Amino acid sequence: MNDQLLNCKDAAALLGINIRTLRKWIARGMVPCIKYSNRVVKFRRDDLLRWQESKTVIPASLEHPAARRKRSDEKIKADKLEAEIKAGLARHYAGRRKKR
């Protein structure tokens, strides 16, 4: 394992982002880092590369057709469930209004 430690400037360059963006991500806990104090932060090169790889998104045009079908089926189910919930709430509140 390559235990090379990088400072903020080098880490930002490795990720191809502005150093201000990197500092925001550090403050939000979004990026793996070693905090010695609030002002001294180091990054393991391998951790950053693994983290960056985990954030990679495959465009839908390159995705396998079966995966797209599965996602669209899940969307249809979610939409049906949402419609059922809204209908149930509407019936519930309509019944409450009539009783008064």
Domain extent at residue 74: 60-99
pLDDT tens per residue, range 89-99: 777 777 666 55
Same domain, 45 and 10: yes
Same domain, 46 and 68: no
Tell me the Ramachandran region of residue 6: left when phi exceeds 0, alpha when psi lies from -120 to 50, beta otherwise. Answer: beta
Same domain, 64 and 44: no
Same domain, 9 and 46: yes
User: How many distinct structural domains can be found in the chain?
Assistant: 2
Same domain, 67 and 92: yes
Same domain, 10 and 48: yes
Same domain, 11 and 46: yes
Same domain, 36 and 76: no
Percent of the chain predicted with pLDDT > 90: 45
pLDDT tens per residue, range 32-48: 999 998 889 999 999 99
pTM value is 0.55
pLDDT tens per residue, range 44-66: 999 999 999 888 877 666 666 66
Dump the DSSP string for 51-74. Answer: HHHHT----GGGS-HHHHHHHHHH
Query: Is pLDDT of 21 > 90?
Result: yes
Same domain, 83 and 49: no
